[in-house]
Amino acid sequence: MLDVSKWYKYQVVESGNQSFLPIYKDFDEHSLAMGEYQADDSYRTKEKFLSKYFKAYHFGRIERYHNFINKQNFHKGSRIFSIASGRAALEAVLTSDGFEVVASDLGIPSSFKKLSKLFTNLNYEIFDCSSEKSVKENGGYDCVLFLSVSAHLDNVQLEKSITNCREMLNGNGVVIFDTSGSSSKNPLANFLINIAPRWEAYILSWILSVKHGRKFIVQKRHHGYRRSEKSIKKMFKKGGFELISSDYSLGEVEFCRTILGGKLTQYPIYKKICQWFGKLTPYCRLYAFKPKESKPYHRTLGNDNTTKIEKARYSYD
């Protein structure tokens, strides 16, 4: 049985609002939660954009993705397909590195119009990684990036996505995958992610109710799913992959899930404590998987000049 647990987030709202919100069901809802991916002043130049959304974004997580990808030793000109790209800061940097990159998401962010003027070689497509539709027509990629999205997929969706990723790769292709959250089997992480934020929200709702003389409630949002390392490896093994490398980091993120934890980060001693204990709660768990058996493929051009994988000769060596 796969180790997966639902991931909830909590906020305090005035009484009359919904007490429970389901997981984001489409691109528009998720985009709204991410500030609608609006193009701000940082889109004026490459330097400003990369400074905000690549180097400084979320504890430097995007830059860590980039470093891990570089360790896989892809050659310049390698074809990379990225799933759930969002603002596509990582994808923009990879185009500058000399890779042929296609970013994708359930919708194209409004900010991409300005981003494409800064990084003219970057392409963006609408794509659903968990769709039942075959994705063989997009095949022949050297790498598929599956980053910052698995937490929003249930097991059925994730298994289908893994199958689709395999079909998109060429014979020696690699999937780069991350979890965006600590293991569901980690007791310390469970306290930091589930227990502490929930009780802090209830205490805050009581304080605000007393202070303002009107009722405040805790609103619970189904944010996504958390999985153990064992489950992740099991799912990829079922999909025909084997692990070739991994990297764990940014455990300090989990210590900032509460308002109090976020405020305490201004103190160096608390930062040190977070960094030390964070080794036990890695937020960013990166994996590189490759197909267990390479498959011969033949790239052809369709009528619309898109690359396709010939269906014939799909036998495995």
Planar angle of CA 283, 288, 289, nearest 5 degrees? 125
- Percentage of residues in the chain having pLDDT higher than 90: 72
Q: Return the higher-pLDDT residue of 31 and 294.
A: 31
pLDDT at 311: 30
256 SS3 class: helix
**How many domains are contained in the chain?**
1
pLDDT at 50: 95
pLDDT at 245: 96
pLDDT at 37: 83
Write out pLDDT tens, residues 220-238.
Answer: 999 999 999 999 999 999 9
> Averaged over 70-93, what is the pLDDT?
95
pLDDT at 133: 59
| Residues found in the chain | 317
Mention every residue, 6+ apart, whose C-beta is less than 8 A from residue 73.
none
Residue corresponding to tokens 């293991």: 183
Is residue 25 over pLDDT 90?
no
Average pLDDT of the residues of the chain: 87
> What is the CA 76 to chain-centroid distance, rounded?
24
Total-model pTM: 0.87
Cα of first residue to Cα of last residue in the chain, in angstroms, is 31
User: Residue 312 — pLDDT band, cuts 50, 70, 90?
Assistant: very low
Q: How far apart are CA 317 and CA 311, in angstroms?
A: 16
Write out pLDDT tens, residues 98-114.
Answer: 999 999 999 999 999 99
Of 32-46, 144-158, 302-316, give the lowest mean pLDDT range.
302-316
Q: How far apart are CA 226 and CA 25, in angstroms?
A: 18
> Averaged over 264-270, what is the pLDDT?
92
User: Residue 125 — pLDDT band, cuts 50, 70, 90?
Assistant: very high
pLDDT at 138: 52
Residue 50 located in a structural domain: yes
Is residue 135 over pLDDT 60?
no
Is residue 4 over pLDDT 90?
no
Residue 276 located in a structural domain: no
Residue 124 located in a structural domain: yes
Write out pLDDT tens, residues 44-69.
Answer: 999 999 999 999 888 889 999 999 99
Residue 275 located in a structural domain: no
Residue 313, CA distances (Å) to 292, 296, 301, 317 in order: 18, 7, 17, 11
Q: How far apart are CA 99 and CA 69, in angstroms?
A: 12
Residue 194 located in a structural domain: no
Q: How far apart are CA 11 and CA 128, in angstroms?
A: 29
Is residue 313 over pLDDT 50?
no
List the CATH number of the domain containing 76: 3.40.50.150
pLDDT at 31: 74
Mention every residue, 6+ apart, whose C-beta is less than 8 A from residue 140.
79, 168, 169, 170, 297, 299, 307, 309
Residue 155 located in a structural domain: yes
Is residue 297 over pLDDT 90?
no
pLDDT at 98: 96
Residue 140 located in a structural domain: yes
159 SS3 class: helix
Domain assignment of residue 125, given as a range? 4-185+219-250+284-309
pLDDT at 59: 86
Residue 300 located in a structural domain: yes
Q: What is the DSSP string of 7-69?
A: EEEEEEEEBTB-SEEPPP-SHHHHHHHTGGG---GGGGSHHHHHIIIIISGGGGHHHHHHHHH
pLDDT at 34: 67
Residue 145 and residue 174 in contact, taking contact as beta carbons nearer than 8 Å = no
